[in-house]
Amino acid sequence: MRPVPVRLRTERQEKPGALKKLKGNKLIRHYHVLLKRKEQLKQRKANPKEIQKVQSELDMLGIDAYQKASQNGQNKRRGGDSSVILVEYVKSQKYPKTVYPIDLLEIGCVSIDNKCSTSKLFRVDRIDLHSTHPLIKQQDILERTPSEGMYGCISCSLVLNFAPPETRGDILLHCTRLLKPPTEQMKSLFFLVLPAPCVLNSRYMSLETISKMMEDLGLFTVYTKTTAKIVYLIYEYRKEPKSVIVWKKKELFKGATRNNFFIPLNTTEATRRPVNKDEQ
């Protein structure tokens, strides 16, 4: 009997013409897929040619086109500005007038005209890995030091889902180093926004598990809102992080349709990023 050749399933690759036609949410989703595919190839030490092929697709899409799509997604007419949630929460707390304007660090900023920038409640510093405006500093959050500013609020909106898995926990821990210590008037806030599937459809995460993880960092949940697409979480910074924190994957939910999103952290690892001198 003649043997039947086995065809290996491969990732679908968009043709150059199709890539150029991608717009809006489709462009953003495909860009995220490519970033994830590139990270997976690097983790399994794939052939450099495979990694370069994915990078070529990313280059073809272009970071500028991706960021323009992200900015359009934040357009208030499309209901995309997550900072509206933060502003509404702060207004509801009736803080003393003396706390305003609150120093805010916005990580992964793509717009200088969002609600937190125009509300007059905040004095905003903005950073992003790829700045698109003079008022947005091009900087990796892990490279930012307390000497550049301490904050009463940090916004981390749709950042962790883009970050390499091994840096996610480090980003959260590093943010606590940039938050002002709690006072009688106000406890510093941390605003975390994630795609809903990262929390609600992961094998390893849930609202309960992420709440417990954040408490290890001294961050306690004060506000939660979930929609079909997004999870909004606000935390108060009440105490310093634990000296030893180990977050490891533990399967909580089974199912072929679930994803593998997780936030790993191990403060005992010798390979962790060294602390800057002015962070000590």
Binding annotation: 108, 128
Binding-site annotation: residue ranges for S-adenosyl-L-methionine? 108, 128
- Contacts of 162 by beta carbon, 8 Å cutoff, 6+ apart: 32, 35, 108
What is the helix (H) or strand (E) element at residue 247, kind and residue range?
A: strand 246-247
Beta bridge partners of 153: 104, 189
Q: What are phi and psi of 235, to 5 degrees?
A: -125, 150
Residues 6+ positions from 115 with CB-CB distance below 8 Å: 76, 81, 83, 84, 86, 87
Q: Could you tell me which of 171, 137, 134 has the C-alpha nearest to residue 154?
A: 171
The C-alpha atoms of residue 39 and residue 54 are separated, in whole angstroms, by 10
**Side chain identity at residue 141, one-letter code:** I
How many other CB atoms are there within 10 angstroms of residue 81's CB atom?
A: 21
Residues 6+ apart with CB under 8 A from 155: 83, 86, 104, 105, 106, 107, 116, 191, 193
Report the SS3 class of residue 32. Answer: helix
